[in-house]
């Protein structure tokens, strides 16, 4: 089994989000078949949807021996370890882990779409992703992440100091 590279987005806006995100990266790093190769800084972003606290967001690059669906299930299990309760789209959450990219594959399964279907329109994903993977080519658009981030409004994404 060869290693693959994947990009994930991390987000939190309930509880101690900074601690949750740092601990989630630590859990990922200890997970068999996953090596955390790079991690962005954390960014504070306005929430989408109903009124709720701001999010902390970031991205990580993982080297993994796991197949995409297995990696997705690993991410969902880690979310649950941190008390994630799914209350519908755009609801507040203790931890959100999204599989954004996996090598250069395009996958359209009922339970998993790669690349993540909304990543190219989300500054809170593209800004941290461009920090750790500016040259990664998003396989549907054929554009590098550094190019995609220039096409979105990044004004609501502030580096956490």
Of residues 74 and 89, the one with the higher pLDDT is: 74
pLDDT band at 90 (very low <50, low <70, confident <90, very high): low
Catalogue the long-range contacts made by 134-137 (C-beta closer than 8 Å, 24 or more residues apart).
136/7, 136/101, 137/104
Q: In whole numbers, what is the pLDDT of the chain averaged over residues?
A: 93
For the chain, the domain total comes to 1
pLDDT at residue number 52: 85
Task: Supply the range of the domain harboring residue 50.
Answer: 4-159
Residue 1 has pLDDT above 60, yes or no: no
Can you tell me the distance from the alpha carbon of 99 to that of 10, in angstroms, rounded to the nearest whole number? 9
The CATH number linked to 103 is 3.30.70.560
Percent of the chain with pLDDT over 90: 84
CB atoms closer than 10 angstroms to residue 100: 25
Determine the pLDDT at residue 86: 67
Taking alpha carbons only, the member of 106, 136, 7, 15 closest to residue 64 is 7
The pLDDT of residue 83 is above 90: no
> How confident is the model over 7-52, as pLDDT tens digits?
999 999 999 999 999 999 999 999 999 999 999 999 999 887 778 8
Question: What pLDDT does residue 92 have?
Answer: 73
What are the catalytic residues?
A: 84, 93, 96, 98
Question: 3-state DSSP call for residue 104?
Answer: coil
Q: How far is CA 134 from the centre of its chain?
A: 15
**Helices assigned H by DSSP within 82-139:** 123-132
Predicted confidence (pLDDT) per residue in 121-140, tens digit? 999 999 999 999 999 999 99
């Amino acid at each position: 089994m060869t290693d693959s590279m994947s990009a994930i987005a991390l987000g939190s806006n309930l509880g101690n989000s900074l601690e949750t995100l740092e601990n989630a990266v630590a859990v990922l790093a200890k997970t068999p078949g996953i090596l955390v190769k790079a991690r962005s800084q954390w960014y504070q972003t306005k929430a989408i949807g109903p009124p709720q606290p701001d999010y902390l967001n970031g991205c990580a690059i993982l080297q993994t021996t796991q197949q995409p669906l297995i990696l997705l299930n690993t991410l969902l299990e880690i979310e649950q370890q941190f008390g994630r309760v799914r209350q519908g789209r755009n609801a507040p959450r203790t931890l959100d882990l999204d599989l954004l990219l996996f090598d250069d594959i395009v996958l359209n399964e009922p339970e998993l779409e790669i690349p993540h279907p909304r990543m190219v329109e989300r500054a809170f994903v593209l800004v941290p992703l461009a920090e750790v993977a500016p040259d990664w080519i998003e396989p549907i658009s054929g554009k590098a992440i550094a190019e995609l981030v220039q096409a979105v409004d990044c004004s609501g994404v502030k580096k956490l100091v």
